[in-house]
């Protein structure tokens, strides 16, 4: 049986210590502990700004209702 972490582990890891992504959990915990909240918010703000610029540069897609 193959586990889809994005779907199956929404409420917590179902594999426990057998999880292949434990290294990322440790990295994420370290990042959260070592990074000030203001810095995280600035990073998120920059990501949103870049995404808005990226979307604005793409051609508009028109969706027409079907008759």
- Please give the pLDDT value at position 66: 82
- In degrees, rounded to 5, the angle at the alpha carbon of residue 8 between the alpha carbons of residues 7 and 13 is 125
pTM: 0.57
- 15-58 tens-digit pLDDT: 888 888 888 888 999 999 999 999 999 999 999 999 999 988 88
Higher pLDDT, 44 or 9: 44
**Which residue in 1, 5, 33 sits closest to 21, CA to CA?**
5
Per DSSP, the residues of the chain read: ----HHHHTTTS-SSGGG-TTHHHHHHHHHHHHHS-HHHHHHHHHHHHHHHHHHHHHSPP---PPP-
Confidence of residue 60 (pLDDT cuts 50, 70, 90): confident
């Amino acid at each position: 049986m193959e586990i889809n972490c994005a779907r199956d582990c929404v409420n917590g890891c179902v594999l426990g210590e057998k999880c292949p992504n434990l290294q990322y959990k440790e990295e994420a915990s370290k990042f959260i502990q070592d990074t000030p909240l203001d810095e995280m918010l600035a990073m998120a703000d920059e990501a949103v700004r870049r995404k808005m610029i990226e979307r604005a540069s793409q051609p508009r897609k028109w969706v027409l209702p079907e008759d």
